[in-house]
Amino acid sequence: EIVLTQSPGMLSLSPGERATLSCRASQRVSSDYLAWYQHKPGQAPRLLIYGASTRATGIPDRFSGYGSGTDFTLTITRLEPEDFAVYFCQYYGAGRSPPWTFGQGTKVEIK
């Protein structure tokens, strides 16, 4: 099983600041299969990034993703009030059990 470890667990920032979130895989993985989601309490999770760096439809360009191998990063360049949420990464491992695994999440809270 691919284990995804996200850091930090919590990030306290002010609107307008830059957020940098990390997702580390337990072994080398394909960036084609790494995604990021945003989740607000009581709402449906929202796909932000797939293929490590491609923004999903309608996602603002202040969200960007990059990485390869075992280390992946989600960056929010200028935090808007609506960006304070939990962010989690997800990996699809073909032929693995389970095929879809998730990181434990990083909460971005207002400082």
Partner 1 sequence: EVQMLESGGGLVQPGGSLRLSCAASGFTFSSYAVSWVRQAPGKGLEWVSSISGSGAATYYADSVKGRFTISRDNSNNTLYLQMNSLRAEDTAVYYCAKFPAQWLVFDFWGQGTLVTVSS
Kindly state whether residue 33 participates in binding partner 1, applying the rule CB under 8 A: yes
On the 0-12 / 13-18 / 19+ scale of CB atoms within 10 A, 108 is: buried
Structure tokens at 31: 């960036």
Listed in sequence order, the residues at least 6 apart from 74 whose beta carbon sits closer than 8 Å to its beta carbon are 19, 20, 21, 23, 36, 48, 49, 63, 64, 65, 87, 89
Of 77 and 93, CB closest to partner 1? 93
CB of 15 to partner 1, least distance (A): 25
Stretch that binds partner 1, among 16-24, 31-39, 61-69, 70-78 (CB under 8 A): 31-39
* H or E element in which residue 37 lies: strand 34-39
Query: What's the chain's length in residues?
Result: 111
CB of 75 to partner 1, least distance (A): 19
Q: Minimum CB separation from partner 1 for residue 97, in Å?
A: 7
Q: Does residue 59 bind partner 1 (CB under 8 A)?
A: no
Closer to partner 1 by CB, 83 or 103: give it: 103
d(CA 91, CA 81): 28
Residues that bind partner 1 (CB under 8 A): 32-33, 35, 37, 42-47, 50, 56, 88, 90, 92, 97-105
